[in-house]
Structure 1
Amino acid sequence: MQLVVGRIGRAHGIKGEVTVEVRTDEPELRLGPGAVLLTDPAARGPLTVESGRVHSGRLLLRFTGVADRNAAEALRNTVLIADVDPDETPEDPEEFYDHQLVDLDVVTLDGTPVGRITEIAHLPSQDLFIVERPDGGEVMIPFVEEIVTEIDLDEQRAVVDPPPGLLDAERAEVAGTRDDEGGK
């Protein structure tokens, strides 16, 4: 399986280093010296990481065979892709790779089916499950501990405890209106 792990930015200095926009939670594993990365566009790779360092909060990498600024600048905007064994799991048992979560069935605490995870959206503040409902609709569920109470890879399911309105905003809105009227 292939994972996007970074994107090459501009050249840094005159000796072939490039800045890298990191797109992995494990840069030391995926972008460390000796890592062989596929590229998009494919004509530029594969690239082997020769060395890396952090400078002013940015990851700088040097690739084997990229010896000067011109060669480094030619790599700008290249996407870096790592081949990952599909059976590989993160070290922390509370962390998951996207490929482990996609296609999981989503159910509520009482077992009511919600749908199937089709995608994981990585936002700055949190990750979201994009869940396709049985009726073909879609719902976004924040991947936070308070809502996603269990990930069971053996059973291929994610258990959620959604706050009111998350799964059915229209019904929650109508119910909220009735509650307001009853209190008057």
Structure 2
Amino acid sequence: MNLPQPVAVAIWVVVGLVLVALVVRGFVRMRRRGVDTIGDLPGRPDDLGEIVLGAVDVTYVSSTLAGEALARVGVHHLGDRSRGTATVHENGVVVERSGSAPLYVGRSALEGVHITNGMVGKQLGTGTIVVLTWKAPATAPNDSITLDTGLHVRRTSDREQLIAAIDALVPSTIDGEETS
């Protein structure tokens, strides 16, 4: 069955508009995810302490709910991929993101660091994404939510240095008591 060209074009336009509407709906839902749970992120303090590791070129992959590599968080531009740099200071980690405000993860918020192959549908090969696990403030008073933030380090030689510098900041616990 051959349709007249105007009818075929009209069908494709409608199908395209439906697909665009679905993409926009998904994007809006992702942005809303976290608005009800994640509070305002802490700003970068004036005193970051001494630099432990200077600026490392990274691609900020995304932040997700901890342990859920596909549950991207949309609030505060945490779900937006961008180029940037990560700097480790004695009081925390600063990730400068192009097009977004810097992300500051304080030493006391850090829970761990590990590497993974992929995050939010982005597979980059064996152990190429450095993942910071940290506690973000929640909207409920005196509460927090755990997030994973992925950083793809551009130079392989910098990856191990970044992991070691962040790992040194993570408070360790011995018999339930925190040590530095």
TM-score of the aligned structures, taking structure 2 as reference length: 0.28
Higher helix residue share: 2
